Amino acid sequence: MKSFKIGDCEFDLIPIIKGLVSEKDKVIQALDSKTYDATAVALGAEDITAISKRDEIEGEFESSDLDTVYSGLLTQFGNIDMPDPAFTTLIDICKDRDIPVIPLDMTDEEYTQLYCETVSTVEFLREKRLIKKALKNKFDTSSPESFVTEWDALVNHLSGYAKMSKYREEYMAGQIKDIANYRKNVLLLIEYERVSGVMGSVGE
């Protein structure tokens, strides 16, 4: 966990390995050991609502082919689940304890617009080739963190995806700075591979 301050607001940041079930233990421990007046997660508003009401929604959560391959490779580090266990655990606990959950990421509409503007048709078609490359690639599996770092680098080899990642990092950093204006004590949950870029944009 990384702790930092912006103005009068104190932040605790948990970098999580997205999809790994064991990561939810970090969330439980953080929420049981300290009282927060809010939490913020690397999800859009619609995603938070969907997870919060997932028992009322029929059907399974959709995932891309890339996400499917990622999940398959991640199983070597333990059980996995979708939607992400760390995010769902935080949202469920906060719902029970009446703690606000603030979205750090873009809305679905904003994300779709950015994707259309950033990822070219050629790059979209290359995603299939990228999946084949990922299945043949020998990733560093010494730790989940090493694996997701190399996975992220492989995906962001496509310039459009790299631009998307950078924009997300800058966007989430802007949200964190805004939260600091009206909150005092916040728990942040962000996927491991985006943390460095987010913190760099925050200025930490």
SS3 105: coil
Q: Which pLDDT belongs to residue 62?
A: 65
Write out the chain's pLDDT in tens, 204 residues.
999 999 999 999 999 999 999 999 999 999 999 999 999 999 999 999 999 888 776 556 666 788 888 999 999 999 999 889 999 999 999 999 999 999 999 999 999 999 899 888 887 777 778 888 888 888 999 999 999 999 999 999 888 989 999 999 999 999 999 999 999 999 999 999 999 999 999 986
Q: Which pLDDT belongs to residue 138?
A: 87
Q: Which pLDDT belongs to residue 59?
A: 59
Q: Which pLDDT belongs to residue 86?
A: 96
Q: What is the DSSP letter of 31?
A: H
Q: Which pLDDT belongs to residue 61?
A: 60
177 vs 193: CA distance, rounded Å: 20
Distance of CA 35 to the CA centre of its chain: 22
Are 78 and 20 in contact by the 8 Å Cβ rule? The answer is yes
Q: Which pLDDT belongs to residue 152?
A: 94
